[in-house]
Amino acid sequence: MVARGAARAQTAASSPALERLTLFVPTSLGGGAARCATAIGDALRAEGLVRQLDTVYAPTEISAALARFLELGRGPDDVIMVMGASLIGAGILQRAPLELVLRTPIARLAFEHLVLAVAWNSDIDTLKELTIGLKLEPATIRFVGGARGGVEHLLVADLASQSGVEPQRLAYEPRPPGETSGAQIFSGQASCAVGGLSELQLDISLGRLRGLAISSSQRLPGVNIPTFGEMGVDIRLDNWRGIFAPPEAPPEQRQRLAGLIARLIQTPSWRATLFQHNWMSAYLPMPAFGDFVTATLAQTRRQLAEFGLS
């Protein structure tokens, strides 16, 4: 304990702590971006990297949420937006000004595998049975996940397409704000949940949900869920989490925030967070992260058009 405390003190002393930081999450509580923001805030506090930290959520449609981010960015304090891949697809569908708001990427932090799951007592035992059901009566299998156009929606659209079913025929609904996809299964509102492993892993480990497939390239240690590849389906679509500064942030502020994140990802607290949530470290600093975001925007537009969802 003394050695760890000394290491933290040394980290804080090597570079002064940020005086005040606001974490902005363009979604409500319950989503993956909110979990990531909580994890970032906890690690920043634990390592003494920020003196005062606030978190602001925006449980509303995306254009309004991004407008709130722009408003916060004009204030005197440092602000970063914590978001994932799902905001891009959802933002495209909602005609949000993504190129404007996302023009100041700071860093990509992590990847998260996606899981397709059903209730423990579901009549659907395997992914193959699910795809057979989709072919016969696609509208009878009700999926619940993240926002329309997001990675969860794209995953089931890809699954439908590979099963010979038009993705537009899927019964897909975003989970209500503040709820998990699993909650919709338990209430009988949906028959199949799709979400990040960190969202569904507790219900799966307790036996309330059964994981049909996970989007990783190979099975994860301690996670008894077969991959899509094992089930004969070519899906390896993961979510990512990243940090953005307000578009009007001056260069010195961008560098300050980039330095903060670079220090964060080296800390024991952050490494423990990755392990706890089964997230994969995927740190990518600017400007490489900016290139990644540009490519992701173009790829997501192509996917939405390909699946007839745009």
Together in a domain, 277 and 129? no
Report phi then psi at 84, rounded to 5.
-130, -175
- Rounded mean pLDDT, 275-298: 95
Could you read off the pLDDT of 172-181 as tens digits, one per residue?
999 877 677 7
Higher pLDDT, 16 or 95: 95
pLDDT in tens, 93-133: 999 999 888 999 999 999 999 999 999 999 999 999 999 99
Q: Is the pLDDT of residue 198 over 50?
A: yes
User: Is the alpha carbon torsion for 180, 183, 188, 192 positive or negative?
Assistant: positive
Q: 222 in a domain, yes or no?
A: no
- Residues 77, 135, single domain; the answer is no
Q: Of 199, 214, 229, which marks where a domain is finished?
A: 214
Domain boundaries, position 33: 2-111+239-306
Tens digit of pLDDT for each residue in 132-156? 999 999 989 999 998 999 999 999 9
Are both 137 and 94 inside the same structural domain? Answer: no
For the stretch 29-63, pLDDT in tens is: 767 889 999 999 999 999 999 999 999 998 778 88
Q: What is the CATH number of the domain that holds 281?
A: 3.40.190.150
* 149 Ramachandran zone, left/alpha/beta (phi>0; psi -120 to 50): left
Q: Is the pLDDT of residue 162 over 90?
A: yes
Listed in sequence order, the residues at least 6 apart from 278 whose beta carbon sits closer than 8 Å to its beta carbon are: 112, 113, 197, 198, 201, 220, 223
Q: Are residues 205 and 243 in the same domain?
A: no
Same domain, 119 and 188: yes
Residues 105 and 131 in one domain: no
Mean pLDDT calculated for residue range 281-302: 95
Q: What is the CATH number of the domain that holds 136?
A: 3.40.190.10
Between residues 1 and 154, the one the model is more confident about: 154
d(CA 197, CA 183): 15
DSSP per residue, the chain? -HHHHHHHHHHHHHSPPEEEEEEEESS-TTSHHHHHHHHHHHHHHHTT-EEEEEEEE--S-HHHHHHHHHHHHTSSSEEEEEEEHHHHHHHHHTT--HHHHTSSEEEEEEEE-EEEEEETT-S--SHHHHHHHHHH-GGGSEEEESSTTSHHHHHHHHHHHHTT--GGG-EEEEPPTT--HHHHHHTTS-SEEEEEHHHHHHHHHTTSEEEEEE-SSSPPTT----BTTTTT------EEEEEE--TT--HHHHHHHHHHHHHHTTSHHHHHHHHHHTPEEEEEETTHHHHHHHHHHHHHHHHHHHTT--
Distance, in Å, from the CA atom of 72 to the CA atom of 80, rounded to the nearest integer, reads 9
Q: Do both 19 and 78 map to the same domain?
A: yes
Model pTM?
Answer: 0.90
pLDDT for res 14: 58
